[in-house]
Chains A and B, each alone.
Chain A
């Protein structure tokens, strides 16, 4: 499977330990050209370490990684030629303008003068930043800085891009712009590996690897992941969410319960059976509630279900 020619990124058994912690533990996956692949997990799951190994800036203890067919350890120049890596803090020069930053990276990557103008105009347009070319990078908002980082990272038309939590601290509107650019790149055949700590962002990826403590929990499309939960998810709203919780938290059939601002989000073994039971229970206790609805599971539901609640997550 790893020998498929169209796999732009291949990780096989990648492992990296630091004193006291195995940051990445035998991780294998592959990303095809034109695919947006999400490395999803909370802080400390091993996302950044994985990206650093793929980018060739940290050697793995075990395992191999190939970018566009080039082994990142044995052929670092070959793999870097095809690759762009955007770390969490991309090195923008705050006292240079947007245009000057782009020109700097174009020089660094050896982009021909003739190709630059069109490429940067096109990228800035896509980023919704056409009118900010003269602004100093230091004066841009967080979302704009991230988008400028992406523009700089893309100036040499890499085949593979690695993005480390590119949307952290970015507001939803800029986040959409950002994703729109990613989809356009994917449509051009670029392979994109992006990490995020936000499980809801996983829904935007074509395929997702869910990481926990350096290990791969699941790897599939978002739709298949949700189907994997194999349990029902109910949503109940109420003017008194906490009374609702007090009534239902020990009810039979519940494997997960979250108190939200307006009610409960509950994972149950059998939705059809539990809905009438819960309704009866709430009516008996005279707790006000709106209709109990069965909703689509989220990737967070799957993550929590797989990892289990309680102390295991905290074991450090």
Chain B
């Protein structure tokens, strides 16, 4: 049911599903374009996000991420193409879109000088939660955020993880079928972060669609599927492991050697090395074929009087994938490491 693509090795056939009809998708984007003057910020993007999916939208600053989100939230009219969110057209029915989404950004969601309960009431008002449901929804939010008994604390004094859950509670008071999270767990301690993502996955279990924007790979790992936008285009789409397996332009080697700085310089001009960068006490090399490259790199470094320690193939991180994909496309600029 999740986004994970069916693999050959999967033991049960019943998990294989027919392509889902459009009504199972909460976000459908077709040829969406946004142009500012001559500048094409978003260039014919297409995406379908299933109901109950936790979807990650990644991209460097200025890649078109925010512009896309603004269109999806009904805050910016597309130049052409269309997008439907929770069944409403973002261009023609922006009001309905806004009533059916929740938006949470770690940094800007809450008023720090208000009490916990005041923040909740404020958001209930903003989202027009009917007064008949108000009491129940406030109770629900406090429960979910694990803040019962803490209603009168000043929000600004809460630990990061609590604030996060309060912000989430406020963003979903009106029970939106789709929620947008903007770097929701940036800077919180890992334990609170794990708890937060557990909450998100619970909501997804209940059918809420979660659209996450981030450039923290630690957050991306919590998503069922990811899209990478670069220069207004979607340049990769898949589960985190699919991206790690398929999207790298080459394979990754970890090389321990001394001195590192000199090794990087030398390897820039090595024939089979696509990219070389220092990483802590070692180097990360991107090469076409790891097995073939190991002896070559070893020899090349030795020939340049560099002492070589361990060399091994490592699994790329999402960050490696991200950098590889964006730099590969960045033909206009010198971007070799």
CA distance in complex: A255, B136 (Å) = 36
A204: which of B3, B5, B205, B279 is its contact (CB, 8 Å)?
B279
Tell me if B60 is interfacial: C-beta within 8 Å of chain A: yes
Tell me if A242 is interfacial: C-beta within 8 Å of chain B: yes
Residue count of chain B within 8 Å CB distance of chain A: 66
Contact of A200 with B2 in the complex, beta carbons under 8 Å: no
CA distance in complex: A143, B25 (Å) = 34
Render A272-316 as a binary contact track against B, CB cut-off 8 A, 1 for contact.
000000000001001011110000000010011001011001101
* Residue ID in chain B nearest A221 by CB atoms: B281
CA distance in complex: A173, B322 (Å) = 8
Tell me if A171 is interfacial: C-beta within 8 Å of chain B: yes
Contact of B281 with A261 in the complex, beta carbons under 8 Å: no
User: B148 to chain A: closest CB distance in Å?
Assistant: 14
**Contact segment of A25-33, A101-109, A179-187:** A179-187
Contact of B15 with A200 in the complex, beta carbons under 8 Å: no
Contact of A172 with B60 in the complex, beta carbons under 8 Å: yes
B10: which of A44, A239, A261, A310 is its contact (CB, 8 Å)?
A239
Contact of A42 with B239 in the complex, beta carbons under 8 Å: no
A window 205-253: CB within 8 A of B: 205-206, 212, 221-223, 237-242
A180: which of B217, B218, B278, B333 is its contact (CB, 8 Å)?
B278
CA distance in complex: A222, B222 (Å) = 23
B190: which of A176, A241, A304 is its contact (CB, 8 Å)?
A304
B window 290-337: CB within 8 A of A: 317, 319, 322-323, 326-327, 333, 335, 337
User: A256 to chain B: closest CB distance in Å?
Assistant: 9
CB-CB < 8 A to B239: which residues of A?
A: 261-262
**Given that A42-B189, A261-B56 are known contacts, is A314 also in contact with B162, CB under 8 Å in the complex?**
yes
Contact of A313 with B191 in the complex, beta carbons under 8 Å: yes
CA distance in complex: A197, B215 (Å) = 14
Tell me if B271 is interfacial: C-beta within 8 Å of chain A: no
Contact of A187 with B260 in the complex, beta carbons under 8 Å: yes
Render B249-293 as a binary contact track against A, CB cut-off 8 A, 1 for contact.
000000000011100000000000000011111000000000000
CB-CB < 8 A to A69: which residues of B?
A: none
Tell me if B223 is interfacial: C-beta within 8 Å of chain A: yes
Contact of A261 with B191 in the complex, beta carbons under 8 Å: no
* Residue ID in chain A nearest B256 by CB atoms: A223
CB-CB < 8 A to B259: which residues of A?
A: 187
Tell me if B194 is interfacial: C-beta within 8 Å of chain A: yes
CB-CB < 8 A to B218: which residues of A?
A: 198-200, 300
Contact of B190 with A222 in the complex, beta carbons under 8 Å: no
A240: which of B15, B54, B337 is its contact (CB, 8 Å)?
B15
User: B141 to chain A: closest CB distance in Å?
Assistant: 18
CA distance in complex: A299, B3 (Å) = 28
Contact of B222 with A260 in the complex, beta carbons under 8 Å: yes
Contact of A314 with B190 in the complex, beta carbons under 8 Å: no
**Given that A174-B61, A314-B161 are known contacts, is A259 also in contact with B198, CB under 8 Å in the complex?**
yes
A141: which of B61, B157, B162, B335 is its contact (CB, 8 Å)?
B61
CB-CB < 8 A to B186: which residues of A?
A: 168, 197
User: B288 to chain A: closest CB distance in Å?
Assistant: 21
Residue count of chain A within 8 Å CB distance of chain B: 59
CB-CB < 8 A to B20: which residues of A?
A: none
Contact of B189 with A240 in the complex, beta carbons under 8 Å: no
Tell me if B224 is interfacial: C-beta within 8 Å of chain A: yes
Tell me if A61 is interfacial: C-beta within 8 Å of chain B: no
User: B198 to chain A: closest CB distance in Å?
Assistant: 6
**Given that A173-B326, A205-B280 are known contacts, is A168 also in contact with B187, CB under 8 Å in the complex?**
yes
**Given that A143-B61, A239-B2 are known contacts, is A176 also in contact with B337, CB under 8 Å in the complex?**
yes
CB-CB < 8 A to A45: which residues of B?
A: 189
CB-CB < 8 A to B56: which residues of A?
A: 261
Contact of A290 with B205 in the complex, beta carbons under 8 Å: no
Contact of B187 with A261 in the complex, beta carbons under 8 Å: no
CB-CB < 8 A to B50: which residues of A?
A: none
* Residue ID in chain A nearest B61 by CB atoms: A141
CB-CB < 8 A to A203: which residues of B?
A: 279-280
Q: Which residues of B contact A (CB under 8 A)?
A: 1-7, 9-12, 15, 54, 56, 59-62, 157-162, 186-192, 194, 197-198, 201, 205, 215-218, 220-225, 239-241, 259-261, 277-281, 317, 319, 322-323, 326-327, 333, 335, 337
CB-CB nearest 8 A-B residue pairs:
A42-B189, A171-B60, A187-B261, A239-B4, A141-B61, A261-B223, A183-B278, A197-B187
Q: Which residues of A contact B (CB under 8 A)?
A: 41-45, 128, 141-143, 168, 170-174, 176, 179-180, 183-184, 187, 197-200, 203-206, 212, 221-223, 237-242, 258-262, 283, 286, 288-291, 300, 303-304, 307, 309-310, 313-314, 316
| A-B contacts, 10 listed (Cβ < 8 Å) | A44-B160, A45-B189, A206-B280, A206-B281, A239-B6, A240-B15, A288-B15, A304-B190, A304-B194, A309-B191
